[in-house]
Structure 1
Amino acid sequence: MQQRTPWSAVLVLGLVLSGCGSAAVSDRTGTSGDDLVVWDWKSGDANAAAYLDAARADFAKSHPDVDVEFVAQPFDQYYTLLGAAIQSGKGPDVILFNGGGQLRDRVDALLPLDEYVAEDRRRLVGWDAFTHAGKTYAAPVTLQGHPLYYNKALYEQAGLDPEAPAGNWADFVEDCGAITDRTGAECFGVGNKEGIGIQFFLSAMGSAVLAPDEYDRWIAGERDWTSPNVKRIFELWQQVDAAGLNNDGVNSTAMFNDAFAIFQSGRAAHVIGLVSDIGHWKDFGEFLDPDDVGVMAAPVVNPGATPSLPYDGGIGYGVAKWTRDPEVAADLVRSLTSTVALGAFYADAGAIAADTAIDVSAAGPAVAAITSAIRTGKPALHVALSSKTVDLMGRLSQQLLSGSATVDEAVAQLAASDAAG
């Protein structure tokens, strides 16, 4: 695994897990003459406009005669459409991916970029999420992480110290009771309609349950689904909801953006959010006083655990193997991950980008807490899983909350899926 780089300043520029900003499906595929076609789900977003303009300008310096067309596909259909393009053997030249399983499941359709991005290795971080079998298949644009955000104003209203949130699970649950009794707010804002809530919960709470060596083995692919600690995470998922710590109707609440709306409206004291350009510090700061948006470590459940911020490369651009000129396409990827482009994305979207050269020191206390936690952060548990296993986990997580599956049944199915690859 790549050495994690200490950050003096980090930027969040994240992957969105929603279909925000998607456009109508286009049948525009790949290279025509000197054109390059890029597929993504971001280019329809107003917050991404300056980012794309800066990337185009950077690319045009070395390739003034190459036209670049960005085609925004709807996120909920994105990988289905991409799968059809891959099956046909033709499609976009440059492709946006989520880090982890979504990229790794499709590396046969991509070109390794190692020879093209060598100069960017030190400047950018988050490469691990875009590598497979020792080769790099995309360059990171953003980091994605899952901080536990909390509302300091609700803590204060409940008579709690907003600068000293609970460090262990028992105290945390007690504080949640005080907050609900005195403010009426729920403990957690959660959405699992799409099966995404469990991904956030597993990764945000995992380091508070698993011992550090067990966590590291999970990331390395040595996962023991029968481990009491692994089962404890899924038991906790059930118990939190059964105890009434969540908002009502978690399985009918969309993560994007209903769960976040519950938090930012003050109806929940905590939410497991993102460090990207949605469900993050800047979004929350538009509704809450930015100084009231706190970031806390996951409260320790197992005394042998050491909580850490789960983060990886968030979104990144890869090059399709059918592109006519791989070097030119790779140059576009480098422009899309240039400091000038990523700086524009941060400025407009508040995303924490994968570029260590971007100064975020003036962004406020939430970003300061996130960037400080990145120094000791570890990869997210769910990102280490295949997309097939993640999808299964989403369905099982809904069954766990509805009572139609037990934890033992769920982990047995997940173990089988994980073993199948």
Structure 2
Amino acid sequence: MGRIAGWLIGTALAAAPTLSMAQELTVWDWKSGDPAAANYFAAVKTAFEAAHPGVTVNFVMQPHDQYYTLLGTALGSSSGPDVMLLHGGSQATSRAEALRPLNDMAEGFAGVADFTAGDKTIALPLTIQGFVVYYNKALYEAAGLDPSKPPQTWDELKAVCDAFKAQGTVPCFAMGNKEGFGGDFFLSSLAADLFTPEEQAQMATGDLPWTSPHMRTIAETWVQTSQDGWYPEGANATAKFMDEYEMFMRGEAANTIGLLSDVAHWKQFEEFLGPENVGVYVHPAPGTSDLRLPVSGGIGYAVNASSANADLAADLVKTLSAPEQAAIFAVDTGALPASTAVDTSALSSPTLGTILGLMNGPTSPLAHAVMAPTVMEEWHRQSQLLVSGETTVDDALARMEEIRLQAKSN
């Protein structure tokens, strides 16, 4: 399938210099314990330690649901790891002051903008990330739907969910919102279609009011789809990773909003359901015929500015992001690599072919990823309250606007 046109452009990174000193580098992440990524982490450790005699690399996997709390505490006390894995967007840029600039290393990567604060690139992206809806073709056929024609408009999506509700066998969508992540994925999926470029820019700077018409449409639609029975009961008690996706892979839901890259994605779903049973489409939104793929920089590595070994840590980031290592991560996990020099021909699959076609069409940033951390945390809470009926759209949006203004003033 070759290199991803339009995304993977540039040149390979230079090899790291050899140092000979007894030193130790610590890397924090939430992935080094994943068996699917084991070859990648082993290759990084082997390559870096061979090029830097006397240096030991230690990968420390932190719990994903506590990761940024632990990291914030560590960085706030000028301690913590030498290198850290970050999501693109505000989870990276909000910590820019604590991170070493990597501008001189950033050429040849897609998604760098999502790891840039002002004129400072603070992490090198490893992957490209985004959201699509995956669907079970066998369940579509059983419900009397044409599995070769996924919904392209909001009315068509409503008809699909009405068909599954009438059948009564499985819910239309798997949903996990225990941590509020289901609300994140829904917001970004609809915002990609609804937001104008100006609104996307305002979202990125924290200037888009939550009381704006499109924000209201998203919140109202979130409530309405829940009330219409699109999701299984207990969504607020279901973890998105991986309970929601295991439900989908067991054939207990017809659709799920999943990732483009490395987990809860095409590769994992094809392995469980078979390539012939997995379909993919862009989530429609009410009131528009536009379909835009929500996509941004995925995950990337940053250097702790307080590290006593910051230069050495920057060399480690080069190895973590280098084409040879990124290729291993891509092939083993199904990630879409951000490095320009990674050959993606080994990632061939029917579903991936559709995704790459979508990437060549209209795209839009991941709206939730650019929220200030306090705003994101509040949306997690409000999205749960809206599903449970413990708040109204008016009250939820008013509270979100209050937190947005507080975040802007800080």
What TM-score, normalized to structure 1?
0.87
Question: 1:316 is matched by which residue type in structure 2?
Answer: G
Query: What is the correspondence of 1:11-410 to structure 2 with a 5 Å cutoff?
Result: 33-60=22-49, 62-115=51-104, 117-118=105-106, 121-122=107-108, 124-182=109-167, 184-303=169-288, 306-361=290-345, 362-375=347-360, 376-410=362-396
Kindly state the Cα deviation for residue 221 of structure 1 after the two structures are TM-superposed: 4.1
> Would you say the 8 A contact 1:55–1:340 is kept in 2?
no
Kindly state the Cα deviation for residue 113 of structure 1 after the two structures are TM-superposed: 1.0
Give the secondary-structure state (helix, strand or coil) at the position aligned to 2:84.
strand
Give the match for residue 12 of structure 2: none
User: Given the superposition, is the C-alpha separation of residues 89 and 219 from structure 1 closer, same or farther in structure 2, using an over 3 Å criterion?
Assistant: closer
Question: 1:83 is matched by which residue type in structure 2?
Answer: G
Give the match for residue 28 of structure 1: none
Deviations 1:256-310 (A, max 9, x none): 111112212222111001123221112212221222211102224123x522111
Q: Distance in 2 between matches of 1:240 and 1:280?
A: 23
Question: 2:6 is matched by which residue type in structure 1?
Answer: P
> Would you say the 8 A contact 1:148–1:204 is kept in 2?
no
Question: 1:291 is matched by which residue type in structure 2?
Answer: E
Kindly state the Cα deviation for residue 203 of structure 1 after the two structures are TM-superposed: 0.7
Give the secondary-structure state (helix, strand or coil) at the position aligned to 1:278.
coil
Q: Distance in 1 between matches of 2:206 and 2:65?
A: 28
Question: 1:262 is matched by which residue type in structure 2?
Answer: M
User: Given the superposition, is the C-alpha separation of residues 216 and 92 from structure 1 closer, same or farther in structure 2, using an over 3 Å criterion?
Assistant: closer
Q: Distance in 2 between matches of 1:265 and 1:45?
A: 21
Kindly state the Cα deviation for residue 213 of structure 1 after the two structures are TM-superposed: 4.3
Kindly state the Cα deviation for residue 8 of structure 1 after the two structures are TM-superposed: 7.0
Give the secondary-structure state (helix, strand or coil) at the position aligned to 2:55.
coil
Give the secondary-structure state (helix, strand or coil) at the position aligned to 1:244.
coil
Q: Distance in 1 between matches of 2:291 and 2:207?
A: 20
Give the secondary-structure state (helix, strand or coil) at the position aligned to 2:279.
strand
Q: Distance in 2 between matches of 1:392 and 1:368?
A: 37
> Would you say the 8 A contact 1:212–1:306 is kept in 2?
no
Number of residue-to-residue matches in the alignment: 391
User: Given the superposition, is the C-alpha separation of residues 353 and 153 from structure 1 closer, same or farther in structure 2, using an over 3 Å criterion?
Assistant: same
User: Given the superposition, is the C-alpha separation of residues 164 and 8 from structure 1 closer, same or farther in structure 2, using an over 3 Å criterion?
Assistant: farther
Question: 2:386 is matched by which residue type in structure 1?
Answer: L
Deviations 1:45-84 (A, max 9, x none): 2222211122223324542332211122222332232233
Give the secondary-structure state (helix, strand or coil) at the position aligned to 1:398.
helix
Deviations 1:175-196 (A, max 9, x none): 2222343472211111111111
Give the secondary-structure state (helix, strand or coil) at the position aligned to 2:193.
coil
> Would you say the 8 A contact 1:110–1:137 is kept in 2?
yes
Question: 1:164 is matched by which residue type in structure 2?
Answer: K
> Would you say the 8 A contact 2:165–2:230 is kept in 1?
no
Q: Which 5+ residue runs of structure 1 have no aligned equivalent? A: 10-31
> Would you say the 8 A contact 2:327–2:342 is kept in 1?
yes
Question: 2:356 is matched by which residue type in structure 1?
Answer: T
> Would you say the 8 A contact 1:275–1:281 is kept in 2?
yes
User: Given the superposition, is the C-alpha separation of residues 218 and 81 from structure 1 closer, same or farther in structure 2, using an over 3 Å criterion?
Assistant: closer
Q: Distance in 2 between matches of 1:326 and 1:8?
A: 28
Deviations 1:291-332 (A, max 9, x none): 2211102224123x5221112222111111122343221111
Kindly state the Cα deviation for residue 152 of structure 1 after the two structures are TM-superposed: 1.5
Q: Distance in 1 between matches of 2:172 and 2:303?
A: 43
Q: Distance in 1 between matches of 2:220 and 2:5?
A: 34
User: Given the superposition, is the C-alpha separation of residues 180 and 40 from structure 1 closer, same or farther in structure 2, using an over 3 Å criterion?
Assistant: same
What TM-score, normalized to structure 2?
0.89
Identical residues among aligned pairs (%): 42
Q: Distance in 2 between matches of 1:86 and 1:386?
A: 17
> Would you say the 8 A contact 2:200–2:365 is kept in 1?
no
Kindly report structure 1 stretches of 4+ aligned residues shifted beyond 4 Å.
none
Q: Which 5+ residue runs of structure 2 have no aligned equivalent? A: 10-20
RMSD: 2.2
Q: Distance in 2 between matches of 1:61 and 1:358?
A: 22
> Would you say the 8 A contact 2:129–2:295 is kept in 1?
yes
User: Given the superposition, is the C-alpha separation of residues 214 and 82 from structure 1 closer, same or farther in structure 2, using an over 3 Å criterion?
Assistant: closer
Q: Distance in 1 between matches of 2:80 and 2:204?
A: 32
